[in-house]
Amino acid sequence: MKALVPGTLALLPSYASIEDPVAPLRAACLDAVGRLGPRVRIVSSAATGGSGARVGAALVAAGGGTVVESGETGVLVVGNGSATRTEKAPGHLDERAAAFDEALRASFAGVDLELAEELWADAACLRDLPPLADAEVLYDDAPYGVQYWVAVWA
Partner 1 sequence: MKLGRHAFGDDEALMMAIVNRTPDSFFDKGATWAEDAAFARVAEVVAQGAEIVDIGGIKAAPGVEISAAEEKARVVDFVARVRDSYPGLVISVDTWRAEVGAAVCAAGADVLNDAWGGADPELVDVAAEYDAAIICTHTGGVTPRTRPYRIDYDDVVAAAIADTVAYASRALSAGVARESIVIDPAHDFGKNTFHSLEITRRLDEMVATGWPVLVSLSNKDFVGETLGREVGDRLLGTLAATSVCALAGARIYRVHQVPETRQTVDMVWSIAGRRPPLRAIRGLQ
Contact set with partner 1 (CB under 8 A): 8-10, 15-19, 21-22, 83, 89-90, 144-146
Residue with Cβ nearer partner 1 (36 or 59): 59
Shortest separation between residue 48's beta carbon and partner 1, angstroms: 10
Residue with Cβ nearer partner 1 (36 or 142): 142
CB burial class (10 A; 0-12, 13-18, 19+) of residue 48?
Answer: middle
Residue with Cβ nearer partner 1 (41 or 100): 100
- Give the contacts of 54 (CB within 8 A, at least 6 positions apart): 12
As a whole number of angstroms, the distance between CA 76 and CA 36 comes to 8
Residue with Cβ nearer partner 1 (34 or 90): 90
Cross-strand bridge partners of residue 149? 140
Q: Which residues of 51-89 are buried (b: 16+ CB within 10 A; e: fewer)?
A: bbbbbbbbbbebbebebeeeebebbbbbbbbbbbbbeeb
CB atoms within 10 A of CB 19: 5
DSSP assigned state of 129: S
Residue with Cβ nearer partner 1 (50 or 130): 50
Shortest separation between residue 65's beta carbon and partner 1, angstroms: 23
Shortest separation between residue 22's beta carbon and partner 1, angstroms: 7
Shortest separation between residue 10's beta carbon and partner 1, angstroms: 4
Shortest separation between residue 11's beta carbon and partner 1, angstroms: 9
